[in-house]
Amino acid sequence: MPEIHPKYREIPDRFAAGYLERLDGRTAIAVEMRARWQSMTDDLGGVDRLSYSQRSLVERALWIEHWIAQQERELAEGRIEAFDAGRWTQATNSLLGLYRTLGLERRAKDITSLSDYIASKAEAS
């Protein structure tokens, strides 16, 4: 019998592959993270054009980005003891590395115009 994973109501404290899929879709964090996933994969030319490795890196980048934001929120709210400058620096550098690997520039999706589609169908017949 396949293992059934519980739905997450929050981002896990430690990275776990597939956490985005297991987020409870009714939560605000799930909506936000899925919107970020969509934005990042759109910027990379669309999820259908990404390799497994790229999708894996996107998932990791989003987790690190969320962790960094949590740390910055702790600092901004005056909870200095909860802010770890060393881990924040390491995470920021890791995120930058992931962004560089994925590519910082936006890529356009391949979209065929209606006239090109009709022309290609006419040529094929």
Write the pLDDT tens digit of every residue in 39-80. 999 999 999 999 999 999 999 999 999 999 999 999 999 999
Question: By residue range, what is the domain housing residue 63?
Answer: 19-124
Residue 12 lies in a domain: no
Residue 11 lies in a domain: no
How many angstroms separate the Cα of 31 from the Cα of each of 7, 36, 82, 102, 125? Answer: 14, 9, 26, 23, 45
Residue 24 lies in a domain: yes
Q: Render pLDDT for 95-121 as a digit per residue (tens, 0 to 9).
A: 999 999 999 776 766 667 777 778 777
Domain count, the chain: 1
Q: How many CA atoms lie within 13 A of 64 on its CB side?
A: 19
Residue 30 lies in a domain: yes
Q: How many CA atoms lie within 13 A of 106 on its CB side?
A: 6
Residue 100 has what pLDDT?
95
Q: Which residue has the tokens 């993270």?
A: 33
Residue 98 lies in a domain: yes
Residue 120 has what pLDDT?
77
Average pLDDT over the chain, rounded to whole? Answer: 89
